[in-house]
């Protein structure tokens, strides 16, 4: 049996040994933590150095691009234009030969170019070291609208944008003659017609889509919105007055039945009545 003093000495020794092991583990953890922090700092320093080098390289490259005469424009090309003259595009672009090609890429006045009625969109590209290309997307004239107040005609695109003024009928192949659109006293080219008249065009487009499904061999040569009605003219021979409702498919299917009975004649078909009537002329 161990006496009490010896037991106390053993317990004291055990406690000291445990404390020593704890201190050793704690010191190792601190060392590992310091090493991890040191590695993170080194990694950050390397990344920061790389970042600074890249930034300096970019700055040097930009300085070279913007200051070296080698990158001055010697050629400006304009593509995509069929109606707007090249000179008009160049004069409104805000750039010229001899300008720096990179600066000019950002300097091109896209707002001024798209203020030209026929130009819908502009895209600019460069071909290093000295070529600048301006590509325009032009609006297409679809409607040839008559203004009876001024006795003039306006070309409109599919969105109702006013493109051009004409003093006589000069229909292009894809253009449709339109009557019944109200224009402002002062017409500004490049702006849209009023919302009410544009809604009439949208109704007509639905009629047109359904018409050519039923009459693929026929051709609508004119449309009128007078008296708040939509009137289409087929091959300049038959005038069809359509009701302003949403049942377009039914109306045109019914129209087909009527035309099958009165083919090869000239006249007016009034479909706004309960019983559609045909009057020849």
- pTM, full prediction: 0.74
Which of 254, 251, 253, 233 has its CA nearest to residue 242?
Answer: 251
d(C-alpha 41, C-alpha 57), whole Å: 24
Sheet containing strand 176-179, strands side by side: 162-166, 152-156, 143-147, 176-179, 220-224, 230-234, 238-242, 267-270, 277-280
d(C-alpha 11, C-alpha 276), whole Å: 117
Residue 125's pLDDT is what? 95
CB-CB contact of 119 with 113 (8 Å) = yes
Query: What's the longest Cα–Cα distance across the chain?
Result: 140
> Strand, coil or helix: what is 177?
strand
Residue 152's pLDDT is what? 96
> Strand, coil or helix: what is 124?
strand
Residue 12's pLDDT is what? 55
Write the burial class of residue 122 (CB in 10 Å: 0-12 exposed, 13-18 middle, 19+ buried): buried
pLDDT digits (tens, 9 = 90+) for 120-170: 999 999 998 889 999 999 999 999 999 999 999 999 999 999 999 999 999
> What is the CATH number that goes with domain 143-280?
3.40.50
pLDDT digits (tens, 9 = 90+) for 10-68: 555 555 555 555 556 567 677 777 777 888 888 888 888 888 888 877 877 676 666 67
Indicate the domain borders of the chain.
69-138, 143-280
- HSE, side-chain direction, 13 A CA sphere, residue 151: 0
- Give me the architecture of the 69-138 domain, per CATH: Roll (3.10)
Residue 2's pLDDT is what? 47
Q: What is the percent of the chain with per-residue pLDDT over 90, rounded to a whole number?
A: 52
CB-CB contact of 223 with 209 (8 Å) = no
pLDDT digits (tens, 9 = 90+) for 183-215: 988 999 999 999 999 999 999 999 999 999 989
């Amino acid at each position: 049996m161990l006496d009490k003093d010896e037991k106390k000495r053993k317990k004291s020794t055990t406690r000291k040994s445990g404390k020593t092991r704890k201190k050793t583990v704690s010191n190792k953890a601190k060392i590992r933590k310091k090493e991890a922090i040191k590695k993170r700092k080194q990694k950050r320093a390397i990344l920061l150095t790389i970042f600074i080098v890249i930034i300096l390289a970019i700055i040097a490259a930009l300085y070279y691009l913007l200051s070296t005469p080698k990158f001055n424009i010697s050629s400006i090309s304009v593509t995509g234009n069929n109606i707007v003259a090249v000179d008009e595009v160049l004069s409104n672009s805000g750039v010229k030969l001899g300008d720096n090609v990179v600066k000019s890429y950002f300097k091109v006045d896209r707002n001024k170019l798209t203020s030209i009625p026929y130009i819908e969109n502009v895209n600019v590209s460069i071909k290093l070291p000295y070529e600048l290309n301006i590509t325009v997307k032009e609006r297409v004239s679809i409607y040839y609208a008559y203004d009876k107040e001024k006795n003039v005609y306006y070309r409109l695109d599919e969105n109702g944008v006013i493109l051009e003024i004409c003093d006589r009928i000069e229909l292009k192949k894809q253009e449709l003659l339109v009557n019944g659109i109200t224009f402002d006293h002062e017409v500004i080219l490049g702006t849209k017609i009023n919302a009410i008249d544009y809604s009439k065009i949208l109704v007509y487009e639905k009629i047109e889509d359904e018409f050519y499904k039923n009459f693929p061999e026929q051709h609508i040569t004119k449309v009128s919105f007078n008296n708040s009605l939509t009137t289409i003219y087929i091959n300049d021979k038959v005038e069809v007055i359509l009701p302003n409702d949403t049942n377009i498919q039914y109306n045109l299917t019914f129209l087909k039945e009527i035309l099958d009975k009165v083919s090869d004649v000239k006249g007016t078909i009034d479909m706004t009545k309960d019983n559609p009537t045909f009057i020849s002329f």
